[in-house]
Structure 1
């Protein structure tokens, strides 16, 4: 259910991000250049996002109002979907230049989520912390707070201590609602550090909050390291059952960090 809600949130946010601006707002405020560019941009809705005609519309919009961030972002999406990081980033850099607060979180989230550009995402996120007074918000699909993304980028670049510190700093915020995978990632960080009891502590919190195949698998690995074979096997069996019931880490567009597969669980069972 929580994963369904997350996916629904993604659809709403993505649709909202791609919808047209209220052109008459620009006219109301006397910005006729942007109003006319906005009216032109509405024509893109008649074309397929990957088509030449779609991009030609936004090329005309950029000529009409080259400091408007929206057409750069709109053109970038087809490159994102195609996995063309170079052209996507050129366009997103322009969008961020002209509307930093709106598009820097999006660029950071995409660099992490779709391109695994962890160093670039860290640069964006640290800048975002400064310009938002540490209120960075969430990834485009709503799955992660951007502080958790920063932590995962630190983890991916070998900075595990900083990753743990960032996660706990976010947890200190009483208004923060723990994300659907947060405790898994924290538990794995401790597991990788060899702090097995702490790993179990946070993976069990995940179990109570949102029990998934991954947290049971990693609990099993912690028990294995502690030479508690019975607990290891018990959690491997639970992991397999959860996986077969589709209770596992999932993202419709990419594979989350720390995700495991049925073959991994079955190998663990055969070895134990």
Structure 2
């Protein structure tokens, strides 16, 4: 049943850079060499993952060390190939040039792929300096950053703090809920042994966006309370087989 318990990791690639590269307006780039770097970047963006594109990104970096987009595109293959040492060198350069743009990406990668929770928390605190009022939502729009911020704290065993981060936006006026905020909060309360609060959130999740993991944790609460849970467990498995799971396209 581990497929249901890996609830935090089902955020896979939440803010990891996508395969679609946006073209840059090179007329807005200052400096002749940086404009040329931008043109190289745009040319390479139509040929992503090819040898020619990698060479062009290298050339763009050589032309302008302050053009962060080129560092970012060099980063992606190393992350995919799990060459985290090279990835770290390049992503740090991209963040140094444009921290507001790339801190979130580096933070999630540290959490998701390196399990470096303390560094993930440090990056989030740094990101907060650029968005002091509201960190906003993840790049895919599914989650508020306060929900994302809860994950490394939970992984470090600071469940109460994690629950607080998720509760905060949920109780804020005008908050637009994510696809499974109540589920995340419910699992956190479940791990704290606060089963009433856990079930309350699982029930709320059922009304908004029910899926296999949510049903499974409802069955776990029922089992702990010595109630009939097998029907819920079977329903969870059936729902999973139907493909009703947490997804990030």
Normalising by the residue count of structure 2, what TM-score does the alignment of the two structures yield?
A: 0.85
**1:140-151 map, 5 Å:** 140-151=139-150
**1:154-165 map, 5 Å:** 154-165=153-164
Matched, 1:14 2:18: yes
Q: Equivalent residue for 1:38?
A: 38
Paired positions, count: 236
- Following superposition, the deviation at residue 48 of structure 1 comes to 4.6
- Following superposition, the deviation at residue 153 of structure 1 comes to 1.1
Q: Which runs of 5+ in 2 are unaligned?
A: 1-13
Q: Distance in 2 between matches of 1:141 and 1:78?
A: 21
Sort the Cα spacing of 1:174 and 1:21 in 2 relative to 1 into closer, same or farther, 3 A. same
Q: Distance in 1 between matches of 2:237 and 2:40?
A: 54
Higher relative contact order, chain-length normalized (CA < 8 Å, sep 6+)? 2
Q: Equivalent residue for 1:23?
A: 26
After superposition, the C-alpha distances for 1:37-95 in whole angstroms (9 at most, x for unaligned) are: 212223324645263x3332222212211122111101101112212222112111111
Q: Distance in 2 between matches of 1:140 and 1:95?
A: 18
Matched, 1:242 2:246: no
Q: Which runs of 5+ in 1 are unaligned?
A: 1-9, 253-272
**1:1-272 map, 5 Å:** 14=18, 18-26=21-29, 31-45=31-45, 47-49=47-49, 51=51, 53-228=52-227, 230=228, 232-251=229-248
Q: Distance in 2 between matches of 1:238 and 1:213?
A: 8
Q: Distance in 2 between matches of 1:50 and 1:137?
A: 34
Q: Distance in 1 between matches of 2:216 and 2:46?
A: 48
Q: Distance in 2 between matches of 1:41 and 1:244?
A: 42
Contact persistence 1:109–1:146 (CA under 8 A): no
After superposition, the C-alpha distances for 1:107-155 in whole angstroms (9 at most, x for unaligned) are: 2223233433322211111111122104223334433322212101111
Shift >4 Å, 4+ stretches? none
- Following superposition, the deviation at residue 234 of structure 1 comes to 3.1
After superposition, the C-alpha distances for 1:206-264 in whole angstroms (9 at most, x for unaligned) are: 11111111111111111111112x2x233223212212221122345xxxxxxxxxxxx
Contact persistence 1:111–1:117 (CA under 8 A): yes
Normalising by the residue count of structure 1, what TM-score does the alignment of the two structures yield?
A: 0.78
Q: Distance in 2 between matches of 1:205 and 1:177?
A: 15
Where 2:44 maps in the other structure, the secondary structure is helix
Q: Distance in 2 between matches of 1:247 and 1:195?
A: 26
Q: Equivalent residue for 1:270?
A: none
Where 2:18 maps in the other structure, the secondary structure is helix
